[in-house]
Amino acid sequence: MRQMLRIFPDMHVYTPYPIQIGSGDWITVITRTTPTFRGQVVLPDDKVIVPTGKAFDVEFGQTTKWDTSLAWSSRWGRSSHGGQGLSPLRPSLSN
């Protein structure tokens, strides 16, 4: 998380989550974030991706299984760049 905030220092995650689905120990939330690419990314092969300074809008979801006091989660998401990117996760959430 520290590296992500270094790369996208103005990241804002919209809460409360507009979509929340849960059953038993499982919960899925869907929301969006609007960061700006301001910090360089160093890949495992030491290749550097320089920041573009461009802002973008990412719709994402997180599914979490709660186990006593611990949370185990997996994340997935898709992005759209002013309507020019990938399809949104759900058409009802598109811009």
Residue 68 in any domain: the answer is yes
| C-alpha distances out from residue 58 to 24, 48, 68, 70, 73, Å | 28, 22, 31, 27, 19
Residue 31 in any domain: the answer is yes
pLDDT tens per residue across span 9-25 = 999 888 888 888 999 88
Give me the domain span that covers residue 17.
2-72
Please count the structural domains in the chain: 1
pLDDT tens per residue across span 23-71 = 988 889 999 999 999 999 999 999 999 999 999 999 989 898 887 665 5
Residue 94 in any domain: the answer is no
Residue 83 in any domain: the answer is no
CA–CA distance, 6 with 59 (Å, rounded to integer): 20
Residue 64 in any domain: the answer is yes
Q: Report if pTM > 0.85.
A: no
Residue 85 in any domain: the answer is no
Q: In this structure, what CATH number is given to the domain that contains residue 44?
A: 3.10.450.50
